Structure 1
Amino acid sequence: MAAEFKGKVAVHSITWGHDHLRGFEEAAALGYKAIEPWPTFVLQHEGRESELLETLDRYGLAMSGVYGGASGQAGRRFADPARRQDIVEFNARLARIAAGCGASHIVLGPGGPRGGPTTAEETKQAALTINETAKRTLEYGVKSCVHPHLWTELQDENELDALMELSAPEVYFAPDTAHLTGAGMDAAAMIRRYSERVAYVHLKDLMPSEARIEDFPMLMGNEALPVFCELGLGPIDFQPIIDALNEIGYDGWLTVEIDKSTSTPYESLRICRDFVENKLGIPIRER
């Protein structure tokens, strides 16, 4: 019998775009108990953290974490020493707000777009920025978690390994099942490799390579299929990933994410919820 998952399930608000309160309302209606809100929405509450906390409370939601890192500005990269202090201060601001709302994780999204493989010198500079960022956010009790991401300066396995080798003990790891798989990595193996660093997880699926736009009628008229899809509709085998998390004793957040709905945000996150509950055996709604 498989071990029982000890962590907690959240949902990412990205599917609702900038319709933030609708995201809160529908996430709560679906039975999710926690959410990773969009960083621009979080920053709107700087100095007014109590208002954000009241909004979360109104919908019965906890704040699981927030996405930060070098993201949010085109061309901003961890590897650019000229942007180091900007990145550190940006994440310190997010950490201060997150801590005020009971969250303790920042997902360090790398900078993009990707121009090619990251060099050893770029990795060294990125590590210096990430180490300083992690030390600053931890002053607020918030863990900074490295997040490999397709099409960015931190995408491939060798880049992740090189960065983690140079990372300070204050730097944690936020594996994303789709981004790791899409870059050719074995997500379960990476979780085991960095077992002592895994502090936050994005649960996400890839669009099947053979998928057709006709298979998703709500997307007709779009020029292309999204890269990601609802959990269980793509090729990723999630049970070995959950097994790896159980094996390392992970008891943190498992945040369900789909960037773009193939129908409506509510329907997409319902499909994801049902997959987590029925196929993975991890409860989301109160029983």
Structure 2
Amino acid sequence: MKVSCHFITWGEELLTALEEASDLGYQACETFTHLALNYEDRIEEFQELMNKYGFQLSALYGGGNFTDIEKRDYIVKRNAQVARFIKANGGDRIVFGPGGPRREGGTTLEELKIAAETMNLAAKACDEIGVKACLHPHINTEIETVFELDTMMELTDPKYVHFCPDTAHLKRGGMDPLEVIKRYSDRIAYVHLKDISPEEVDEQTFPILSGNEQMPIFCELGLGTISDEIVDIVGYLKEINYDGWLTVEIDKSTSTPYKSLEICRNFVQNRLKLEL
């Protein structure tokens, strides 16, 4: 397995993210898609930037409002555009994030049928470029619950639509992450690792509270409520010889981006027994 990290906590500061993550020993990343596509017409410049810090691109985020049939053509073209950039920079994974906001009552079977048709088309377009599309269930979107995930996995073509489990989003969506991962183990092509913030928190562990900011839903690996589950999940992935990316992702740092990624690095090395 290979370890990557997401630069989300650095916001628009791609250069700072590369510098600091490199200092911590990371060698692969996801970044915001719009930041990467700023270099769409300057591929060599982007590659030189990544090479300067010893990084490779593990994936970029794509997807869209798959249930909106009027957006079908745009979704297919947009994801193909992102896939071409990924491929040009040595990557072969695109994360298919579903659209939001979530509608009251969730997504109906008829809507999921539309979503599956669109996703199949977009994933096939990415596959033809040489990039695997990985469905990522996500809270507060059209694909959040076990019914929505299972329906999409049933209706989509396993040749083109792969699976990107996110430990925290599966849990917050009411699922048992390890159970879901076992059920779809043959379709896993990318993984997001994140922890869920505990209800009882203090300023010493989470400095964000000292500024009277609200605690984010997700937190650094090892500081949350599903740390042990993450250890079990990675243990299972080792058992089945999963050899793809494990990407550390924190939506919002509870201290500083550098410190957050350092905490995650220590968890990856000490608890998960993985090297960067």
Q: Smaller-chain TM-score range? A: over 0.9
Q: CA deviation at 1:188?
A: 1.3
Query: Structure 2: which 5+ residue stretches go unaligned?
Result: none
Partner of 2:163: 173
1:13 & 1:180 partners in 2: Cα distance? 21
- Normalised TM-score (structure 1): 0.92
Contact kept? 1:213, 1:224, Cα under 8 Å: no
State the alpha-carbon separation in 2 of the partners of residues 40 and 24 from structure 1: 16
Q: How many equivalent residue pairs?
A: 272
- Rounded Cα–Cα distance in structure 2 between residues aligned with 1:137 and 1:62: 19
What is the 5 A alignment of 1:22-171? 22-70=16-64, 77-116=65-104, 117-168=106-157, 169-171=159-161
Which consecutive unaligned segments of at least 5 residues does structure 1 have?
1-6, 71-76
Tell me the amino acid that sits aligned with residue 124 of structure 1: K
Q: Secondary structure at the match of 2:153?
A: helix
Q: CA deviation at 1:246?
A: 1.7
Q: Conserved in 2, the CA contact under 8 Å of 1:219 and 1:263?
A: no
Seen in structure 2, the aligned counterparts of structure 1 residues 280 and 214 have a Cα distance that, compared at 3 Å, is closer
**Matches of 1:239 and 1:214, distance apart in 2:** 24
Match of 2:180, SS state, is helix
3-state SS of paired residue (1:57) = helix
Amino acid at match of 1:135: K
1:189 & 1:251 partners in 2: Cα distance? 19
Q: CA deviation at 1:13?
A: 0.8
Post-superposition Cα deviations, 1:36-83, rounded to whole Å, max 9, x if no partner, equal 12101111111322211111101100110101111xxxxxx1100001
Q: In structure 2, how many angstroms separate the alpha carbons of the residues matched to 1:273 and 1:94? A: 28
**TM-score, scaled relative to structure 2:** 0.95
What is the CA–CA distance in structure 2 between the aligned matches of 1:46 and 1:279, rounded to whole Å? 38
Paired amino acid for 1:67: Y
Identity %: 53
Please provide the CA RMSD for this pair. Answer: 1.3
Partner of 1:73: none
Q: Secondary structure at the match of 1:220?
A: helix
Deviant stretches of 4+, over 4 Å: 212-215
In structure 1, C-alpha distance between the alignment counterparts of 2:213 and 2:143, rounded to whole Å: 27
